[in-house]
Amino acid sequence: MSENKTVKFIVTRQDSPDSAPYEEEFELAYRPNMNVISALMEIRRNPVNTKGQATTPITWDSNCLEEVCGACSMVINGKPRQSCSALVDQLEQPIRLEPMRTFPVVRDLQVDRSRMFDALKKVKAWIPIDGTYDLGPGPRMPEKKRQWAYELSKCMTCGVCLEACPNVNSNSNFIGPQPLSQVRLFNAHPTGAMNKAERLEAIMGDGGLANCGNSQNCVQSCPKGIPLTTSIAALNRDTTFQAFRNFFGSDQV
């Protein structure tokens, strides 16, 4: 009997960034250990929908296929997640695939995630070490802190937290949880801490930290288990002090 088993997909498709989305159904033969990407590849091999009509292959984004690059994120059965680690055996059928609409849809399941990379530039999510001469070795980081910071560094800019956040939408300019947690990561680094105030001031600007409404969907949804809401609360504390320093002046540089 198992050779007749099939897998059913309902895919939300869209031909161009401005065209209207539509649903298309696909049914394909079950194979053991399928994931959503392998199913999409199977459809690409023979793009025929359940009505028997020939159609175009589905467009999607993917790269590493081991849940570290974040490129293949999409909404699977209502929840945003990576399609590479979405195993067909663990999903309820029919499996519904939709693009993450928080981002501009390029085509079908492929979205443009550049707003997150722009946000990383905006919050200065890097450690400036370039100079006209050798700056020498930086301060050492305690091992325990390194391990703690490693958890924050797991962010793969996949966009799931932005998709789940009720305050990231077309009515708001909120940059979302992803770049905020990176501010905490780079501020925690002994060399990065030298530019702490610059990053805090960046997230105190328009569309920044203060737009968080504490729905805490981000921390529930993050595939890497990054403590996003703890990062946000910690930055709330840091920016409170920064705001006082900015207003009253400070004896610390």
Partner 1 sequence: MAGNREFLNRRLHSLLGVIPIGLFLVQHLVVNNFATRGPEAFNNAANFMGNLPFRIVLETVIIYLPILFHAIYGLYIAFTAKNNAGKYGYFRNWMFLLQRVSGVITLIFITWHVWETRVAAAFGAHVNYDMMADILSSPFMFGFYVVGIISTIFHFANGLWSFLVSWGITVSPRSQVISTYFTIGVFIILSIVGISTLLAFV
Q: Judging by DSSP bridges, how do beta strands 110-111 and 105-107 pair with one another?
A: antiparallel
Both tokens assigned to 8: 């059913």
Residue 96's DSSP bridge partners are: 10
Nearer to partner 1, 39 or 168 (CB): 168
Q: Tell me the closest approach of the beta carbon of residue 171 to partner 1, in angstroms.
A: 5
Nearer to partner 1, 63 or 215 (CB): 215
Q: Tell me the closest approach of the beta carbon of residue 173 to partner 1, in angstroms.
A: 9
Please, are residues 203 and 181 in contact by the beta-carbon 8 Å criterion?
Answer: no
Alpha carbon distance 124, 26 (integer Å) = 44
Nearer to partner 1, 57 or 213 (CB): 213
**Contact residues for partner 1 (CB under 8 A)?**
78-79, 164, 166-167, 169, 171-172, 204-217, 220-221, 227, 229-230, 232-240, 243
Q: Tell me the closest approach of the beta carbon of residue 212 to partner 1, in angstroms.
A: 8
Nearer to partner 1, 107 or 179 (CB): 179
- Kindly give, in sequence order, each residue whose CB lies less than 8 Å from that of residue 155, ignoring residues fewer than 6 positions away: 178, 181, 182, 185, 224, 226
Nearer to partner 1, 64 or 210 (CB): 210
Q: Tell me the closest approach of the beta carbon of residue 176 to partner 1, in angstroms.
A: 13
Q: Tell me the closest approach of the beta carbon of residue 240 to partner 1, in angstroms.
A: 5
How far are the Cα atoms of 4, 8, 34, 56 from residue 29, in angstroms, in the given order? 7, 9, 10, 19
Nearer to partner 1, 43 or 76 (CB): 76
Q: Tell me the closest approach of the beta carbon of residue 2 to partner 1, in angstroms.
A: 34
Alpha carbon distance 56, 79 (integer Å) = 25
The runs of H, that is alpha helices, within 27-176 are 36-45, 114-122, 143-153, 160-164
Q: Tell me the closest approach of the beta carbon of residue 236 to partner 1, in angstroms.
A: 4
Alpha carbon distance 239, 218 (integer Å) = 20
Alpha carbon distance 120, 118 (integer Å) = 5
Please, are residues 11 and 56 in contact by the beta-carbon 8 Å criterion?
Answer: no
Nearer to partner 1, 51 or 237 (CB): 237
Buried/exposed 135-164: b ≥16 CB within 10 Å, e otherwise: eeeeeebeeeeeeebeebbebbbbbbbbbb
